[in-house]
Amino acid sequence: MNALKLIILAIVVFVFGQLNQWSILDKVFFALVGLIVVAWLWGRFSLRGITLTRETKADRAQVGQPLMERIRVQNSSKLAKLWVEITDHSDLPGHRVSRVLNLGPKDGRRWRVETICSRRGRFRIGPLTIRSGDPFGLFPSQLFIPDTHELLVYPATVDLSAFALPVGELPGGSAIQRRTPFVTPNASGVREYFPGDAFNRISWSATARTGKLMVKEFELDPTADIWIAVDLQANVHAGAAGLGALPSLSGDEVPLSFWLDSTEEYAVTVGASLAHHFLSQNRAVGLLASSRQNVVIPTDRGGRQMIKILEQLAVIRADGDMPFGELIMAEGGQFSRNSTVIFVTPSTNEDWVQSVIEIVSRRVQCVAVIIEPTTFGSGESSLFVISTLASIGVPTYLVKYGDDISRALATHSVAPGGKVPRP
């Protein structure tokens, strides 16, 4: 637009110069034409020799952890670049790569960007736009770099080492009769060694007796499977009132309040933390969530199960239509006396409590974690729900906005038959 205005000005000056025979206007016209030509040539070659590379080491991160990226801009041309504007189109909150540089001949710049991941989800790193031009900004040039990199940010997990949980009822015998690739205290027998077997499973006494390498086989520990049911029905969740825009974050430690700004984030963080806590104890953990598309991850053990759960909780949103009670009843057939079910919800609707009563009547151990909605400036008090759960012997934990989750889940807020505090 500036170039068009200057061209129009040059034409006007030329016309007035011819009409009035003013030699000064002829000189001004030739000066303007020279300026336009030089600016056009300068802008045409302003991005010649410019190369940009970016390096992101990870495609997985976790809320509260830093993401590090290295960017390098190189000018291989013999001409200096007065200004080079780099614009990043990444959608990761707080990720600031954009800047303006000055590059000399055969010059380069490199810098490192460290961003604290403040939101869970799937984000795009890139693309980039590079702009430059003449010193007057008459003929800017633009180069689009379409390369993108996908980043998956897992929800945060907190230490729940003090979390107490009642065990489910177990069948007779000392072990569940099911083979497992994990090492447990219950060795069921020995067999010959096969390539790939871990050396720590070799039974040296059996090897010495038979003259062949023998390995132990194990059965599952007699512990209850853990089901974590997270309520993500849209109309029961609320955001914390009075929160402004997310500030720019840097450093190794960031307060939890930066991302725990809604009942949804509290529920997801509690669910992820519970899964991490029990899987680290080699317990079998499954996940239920009532999002737009209900999530059901069958119980399993190990690091792979943890990744499955974190990947689901990273992208899931509180946009479901199914009431929590209906989810519990629909998937209740998977709960047995060998199960312990942990319900995580901000709902004050009594219907889901009736579903819990049905589950408890089958002698399935249940635990409830209530995210108190009134502390987020919305919803009704959960006092009645907590009272009903206490009356049927369901241990209940109460988490309020601003609470340290580790402390909130360290002791029962409401023990079975105990006094119900006011939220």
Total tally of structural domains belonging to the chain: 4
CATH number reported for the structural domain that contains residue 92 in this entry: 2.60.40.10
Residue 287 resides in a domain: yes
CATH number reported for the structural domain that contains residue 235 in this entry: 3.40.50.410
Tell me the residue range of the domain where 119 lies: 50-154
Q: Are residues 86 and 197 in the same domain?
A: no
Q: Are residues 22 and 58 in the same domain?
A: no
Residue 166 resides in a domain: no
Q: What is the 3-state secondary structure (H, E, C) of the chain?
A: CHHHHHHHHHHHHHHHHHHHCCHHHHHHHHHHHHHHHHHHHHHHCCCCCEEEEEEECCCEEECCCEEEEEEEEEECCCCCEEEEEEEECCCCCCCCCCEEEEECCCCEEEEEEEEECCCCEEEEECCEEEEECCCCCCCCEEEEECCCEEEEEECCCCCCCCCCCCCCCCCCCCCEEEEECCCCCCEEEEEECCCCCCHHHECHHHHHHHCCCEEEEEEECCCCEEEEEECCEHHHCCECCCCCCCCCCCCCCCCHHHCCCEHHHHHHHHHHHHHHHHHCCCCCEEEEECCCCCEEEEEECCHHHHHHHHHHHHHCCCCECCCHHHHHHHHHHHCCCCEEEEEEECCCCHHHHHHHHHHHHCCCEEEEEEECHHHHCCCCCCHHHHHHHHHCCCCEEEECCCCCHHHHCCCCCECCCCCCCCC
Q: Are residues 247 and 381 in the same domain?
A: yes
Q: Are residues 116 and 210 in the same domain?
A: no
Q: Are residues 101 and 201 in the same domain?
A: no
Residue 25 resides in a domain: yes
Q: Are residues 28 and 60 in the same domain?
A: no
Q: Are residues 331 and 376 in the same domain?
A: yes
Residue 415 resides in a domain: no
pTM above 0.85, yes or no: no
Q: Are residues 66 and 142 in the same domain?
A: yes
Q: Are residues 130 and 192 in the same domain?
A: no
Per-residue pLDDT of the chain (423 residues; tens, 9 = 90+): 577 777 777 777 777 777 777 778 778 888 888 888 888 888 888 889 999 999 987 889 999 889 999 999 999 998 888 899 999 999 998 888 999 999 999 999 999 999 989 899 999 998 999 999 888 888 889 999 998 999 999 999 999 988 876 544 444 333 444 555 555 555 667 888 878 777 777 888 888 888 888 888 765 555 678 999 999 999 988 886 444 434 444 444 444 556 788 899 999 999 999 999 999 988 899 999 988 888 999 999 889 999 999 999 999 999 888 899 999 998 888 888 888 999 999 998 888 999 999 999 988 889 999 999 898 887 788 888 989 998 888 999 999 988 889 998 987 665 555 444 444
Pairing of strands 141-145, 149-154: unpaired
Q: Are residues 8 and 78 in the same domain?
A: no
Q: Are residues 104 and 130 in the same domain?
A: yes
Residue 170 resides in a domain: no
Residue 116 resides in a domain: yes
Q: Are residues 308 and 369 in the same domain?
A: yes
